[in-house]
Structures are given as structure tokens and as C-alpha cells.
Amino acid sequence: MPDEMSSLPGPRLGAVRVGGPQPLPAGVRDAADLPRHDGQHPPAASAEPPRRDGPVDAGAVRTAAMVEATAALHEGLGRLCPDTPGPALSAELMGREGVVPSDDADSTQRDRRLHAALISPVRHLLDAGGKRWRAHLMARVLEIYGVSPHHYAELIAACEMGHAGSLMVDDVEDTSPVRRGSPAAHMLFGEATAINAGTAAYFSVDRAIRRCFPGDAELRLAVYETYLANLRATHAGQALDIQGHQREMTAALATGDPEPLLNMLTLTHRLKTGAQVRAVCEIASLAGHATPQQRSALGEFGEAVGLAYQITDDVSDLRGVIHRDRATKRVAEDLHNAKVTFPLAHTVTLLPRDEAESLWRTLQAEPDEGAVRRAARTIDASGAVQRCEEQATALLDQAWTAVRPYLPDSPHTTALAEAATAVVHRTWNT
């Protein structure tokens, strides 16, 4: 089953095409040939798009954006998460920047141990693949304000590292054996190391901020505050997710009213998934010197994209997630764990009460593979998947309608909308 929902419409942009990488525009052979910002003084936000000579090739802008973001991401990962140990990396990991590292045999052993414990587990997950769309959204927002992603390569990379860290911890909490088609980090490195390395990955943003904003204390503080506020939110969402929604599901079946359940699910994932994407958009807008109104609007947009993505992710889990012809986790893993998802919650009103109650009892009784697959087919056939698709589409459309007046009329703005559409519709590829 392909990991795709191409039937979903996106934000109303007219004839907008979505998708992943395309051939480089004519005359461009490499990312280095693409136009770049000078990397010294990012321009302040402007209500007007940059002036250009002649007509703008939207396809070329889209392709250039993909190439630039990918190159910046790899550049930043090479600096923050290199595949080899070294004294400078160890100094950063230990919070000892500026301290001259020793260069003896003991320090070499220290470097190897720190790299093995803090970097290798994260690289394992990063090297396994992933769509890396959060990093690309950050790059899209930067480009709206005329800033090359290369100027903030470490910040873009830290966004991806932080997300990888959250997945590593999540896999331990959910006892998930597989991530991105490979053994989950805790299966190779052990639970303690996976938790510690995953948590340490959150602090890669601190390392990136120190590199990207060395001389602007006010901007650095604003980025720190934005990141930490949203990090608190993601942990609050994860707390609600760990507790689960079994009680609300049982109550919804008893009363026939799913609204309290759906409200709690929505809050959980606005915090757990939406806040992470909000941080990406807000930090990029800060780096681009957007106005406070633009920053707020982009943050709301990012949060909505994250929530809409979670809804379609629940649908993908139900059907099985395939990326690049490889299963990234088992079919209906959430149902195996009796986890209440958006499709399952919608069965409260879409199935007859006795059938919905029977379905819920089956999932709570540790069903075998066959029973889980039958449950998944029942949920799909009930119309719950279609309702989720419609809900995600409405969220994305409303969010774009709200943010669009705050953004310049430029191909980079359109590129942001296209990227968000592809992410939510599960057609994004890098």
C-alpha cells in the first residue's frame, strides 16, 4: 500500500502541483550554481516580494528550493552530527565550548565514547531515511524572507536532529521495534542509551543557536524562548499521549458523544506534533526578521500543518506505512497497542453502537495479527478514513487562508503552500 493520499485536495492555490524533487532547472548543474544569500546580514522582512528581471519560473523556484534546503540540511548535519568523533565535537557535547581540548590518548578515548553514546544512535535513525519535511518547511519560510537556507544550515539540521531524538524516545515508550524500516535505536543501542542520546539531540538546537546567532543577543534570546516554549508543549502532548485516551473512548461509546474524546485527541496532537512544527515556522520567521504579526500567523499555520499531518499519519498507520518501497513499521501498529487514534475515534458515530463497542473490546484484549487486520478493515470501511481525510484537508485549507494575507506575493510563498500540501497529503518525498 503506497504511503500516499493523492485524492486529498490541498490549499486553494489554483493550479498548484505538489511533490518531491524534480530535475534541476536548465543551466543549473549543482546546488552551488544556485543563487545564494551572502550569508552575512539576512535582510529584514518586506511586505513586497523581491524584484526580479523577467518572468519567474515557478518550477525553477520550487526545484531550487528543494536543492538548497537539502544541501543546507546535509551541510548542517555534517557539522552537528558528524560521522567521526573529534575534540571540538566533544567540547560542544560537554558544554565546554571555548575550552582548549587536550590531545592525548585519554581525550581520544573520550571523543570516541561520547560519539558512540550521543551521536551514533542519532545518526542511525537519520541514516535510515525519513522525509525530513520539517527541515524543508524551515527552509521555505527562510526563503520567503530572502534568506538562504545555507546561512542557517545548523539550525535546519538541529530541527531534524531534535525530531529524530523525539522518535527515539517515543519508540522506547511505545516499545516499537522498527523505525523507518530499520531496527529502532533502542533495539541496537539499548533503552538507556537511546533515551539519553534522544534527549541530548534536543540540545542540538542550543549548539545551532550559538553558531548561527553569535552576535545578536536579542535575537538569540527570542529563538531560545520560542524553542523552549514549544519543547515544553511537545512534552505535555507526549504526556497526554502516554496516558492514552482509553477512558475517553469508553465514555464516548457509552454516551454516543465523541466530542470530549476528539477534543482531547486534538489537544494532545496539537501539542505533541503541532507545537514542533510551530517552532520550526516561528524560529525561521525570527531568523528572517519577520514582523510579530507574520511570526504569529506562521506559527499558527505550522501548528495546523502538524495536526493535519498527525491525522493523516493515523490513517497511514491503519493501512501500513511504505516509504521508497520499504515498510517503515508494521500495519496498524497503533491498533496492536489499543491506542486511540482519529480514525478509531470516529467509529463512535459511524458504526452501530454494538459494533463499535465490540471493536473496542477486541482491541483491548491483545488481539492477534489477523484480528487487528480485520479491525483495520472495519474502521476503513466505516467511513472513518474519509472523515479523517476531510478533516485534514479542512485544517490545511483554513490555516492557509489565515496565513496568506501576512505573506508576500512571491513564488517562495507558493512553494511553502505546496510543501505543506504535500506533507499533509503524504506525497512529500526528498
Q: Please state the three-class secondary structure of the chain as a single string.
A: CCCCCCCCCCCCCCCCCCCCCCCCCCCCCCHHHCCCCCCCCCCCCCCCCCCCCCCCCHHHHHHHHHHHHHHHHHHHHHHHCCCCCCHHHHHHHCCCCCCCCCCCHHHHHHHHHHHHHHHHHHHHHHHCCCCCHHHHHHHHHHHHCCCCHHHHHHHHHHHHHHHHHHHHHHHHHCCCCEECCEECHHHHHCHHHHHHHHHHHHCHHHHHHHHHCCCCHHHHHHHHHHHHHHHHHHHHHHHHHHHCCHHHHHHHHHHCCCHHHHHHHHHHHHHHHHHHHHHHHHHHHHHCCCCHHHHHHHHHHHHHHHHHHHHHHHHHHHHCEEECCEEEECCCHHHHCCCCCHHHHHHHHHCCHHHHHHHHHHHHCCCCHHHHHHHHHHHHHCCHHHHHHHHHHHHHHHHHHHHHHHCCCCHHHHHHHHHHHHHHCCCCCC
Torsion of CA 94, 96, 99, 101, to 10 degrees: 10
Instruction: Report yes or no: 379 and 343 within 8 Å, Cβ to Cβ.
Output: yes
Instruction: Please report the pLDDT score of residue 324 as a whole number.
Output: 60
Instruction: Please report the pLDDT score of residue 316 as a whole number.
Output: 92
Q: Cα(413)–Cα(417) distance, rounded to whole angstroms? A: 7
Instruction: Please report the pLDDT score of residue 40 as a whole number.
Output: 38
Residues of the chain with pLDDT under 50: 1-10, 12-54
Instruction: Please report the pLDDT score of residue 176 as a whole number.
Output: 87
Instruction: Please report the pLDDT score of residue 323 as a whole number.
Output: 60
Instruction: Report yes or no: 165 and 85 within 8 Å, Cβ to Cβ.
Output: no
Instruction: Please report the pLDDT score of residue 31 as a whole number.
Output: 34
Instruction: Please report the pLDDT score of residue 288 as a whole number.
Output: 97
